[in-house]
Amino acid sequence: MLSKPFEGKRIVITGGTGSMGQVLIRRLLTGEMGQPAKIIVLSRDEAKQHYMRVEYQQRVAATDEIIYRNFQNALTFWIGDVRDYGSVARVLREADVVVNAAALKQVPTCEYFPFEAVRTNIEGAENIVRAIQEHNLPVETVVGVSTDKACKPVNTMGMTKAIQERIFVQGNMRCPWTRFVCVRYGNVLASRGSVIPLFHEQIRSGGPITITTTDMTRFLLSLDDAVDTVFAAVRNGGRGETFVPRAPAANIVDIANALIGDRNIALKVTGIRPGEKIHEIMVSEEEAYRTVERGNYYGILPMLPEVLGEGSWTPALKAEYSSADSVMTPAETLELLRSRNLLLDDDPSADPAKQQLGAAVKELLR
């Protein structure tokens, strides 16, 4: 595989104003995977696009005149919706690579509005495959961003993401000139809606910290780890493979105690929410026999024989891959959170993801 697979490529990121999308864009602009010719953010939230545009033009504030030269920049913003086939078909005419990060990802939201989750998580994926197929678009690679909740799903969010994975895997048959791969990872530390920001807020308010059950474990992945998984899939993923990171896991109580430190903050057990799992599972026992090693990742081979092709492999797993398998000690959990600048006393400005706009990036965004 090429060491700089994005060199000179036009990259479309659906849902690019989200937590992962923003870190992905910062990393792409550093040129570590090659310098893209253009990065196009497709989303329906004009406010988030505006604030991203202001940030990347290194302004404190700006009025909306800064949009006028939008399409002449290396980083451009398109208003559109992955649910809308016309929006998708138009933007993909500009794409060599697509990263589908658009999603309804909040478990309770998807439970109360299940068809909305279907429209974004399932129809959005279908619109991407359909647009490439019907218009013979020369898209080289599509990366579908999935979740551990798609593995043995028990909630609407996971069910819709599981179908999304299947749509992208089967897309390799509908569009044989395009490589469709997926990435699957767990709860991302410090992303919107995740437990770390909630715990921070509860600590600042004097507590208590609420946990649903003392048995709960979670994989600990940063936003940069999530982006690394996307990059690994682009570099090494075969058609129809789903990449899963090998990640450390911790007990939620240990995470809470590490964040509390010496503060006089109580823990309150509230009970498991509807659709919530006690442990994250990223590879099921049914998938284990077709899971192979891919460096620091596992690759789940496609189920469809037409996509899998001929050949044999040695399974990397004999059972499911769960956050309950190898839980860090409290001391190890504390050290990991400290190393990721996630303890409440840490300086937020030390976040390395926010320090990656160098001279080359400034030049690109003139």
Which residues form the catalytic set?
A: 149
Residue bearing tokens 């284990």: 288
User: What is residue 217's three-state secondary structure?
Assistant: strand
Please, which residues have CB within 8 angstroms of residue 153's CB and are 6 or more apart in sequence? 159, 161, 162
Amino acid at 54: V
Amino acid at 180: F
Distance, in Å, from the CA atom of 263 to the CA atom of 343, rounded to the nearest integer, reads: 12
Dig out the tokens for 266 from the structure.
Answer: 């109580």
User: What is residue 89's three-state secondary structure?
Assistant: helix
Dig out the tokens for 306 from the structure.
Answer: 């037409």
Distance, in Å, from the CA atom of 295 to the CA atom of 263, rounded to the nearest integer, reads: 40
User: What is residue 288's three-state secondary structure?
Assistant: helix
Name the β-bridge partners of 144: 100, 182
Whose CA is closest to 220, among 241, 198, 194?
194
Please, which residues have CB within 8 angstroms of residue 254's CB and are 6 or more apart in sequence? 328, 329, 330, 333, 334
Q: Are 300 and 222 in contact (CB under 8 A)?
A: no
Q: Residue 152 burial by CB count (10 A; 0-12/13-18/19+): exposed, middle or buried?
A: middle
Give DSSP secondary structure letters for 29-59. Answer: HTTTT---SEEEEEES-HHHHHHHHHHHTT-
Report residue 318: phi and psi, to 5°.
-110, -10
Count of C-beta atoms within a 10 Å radius of residue 181: 25
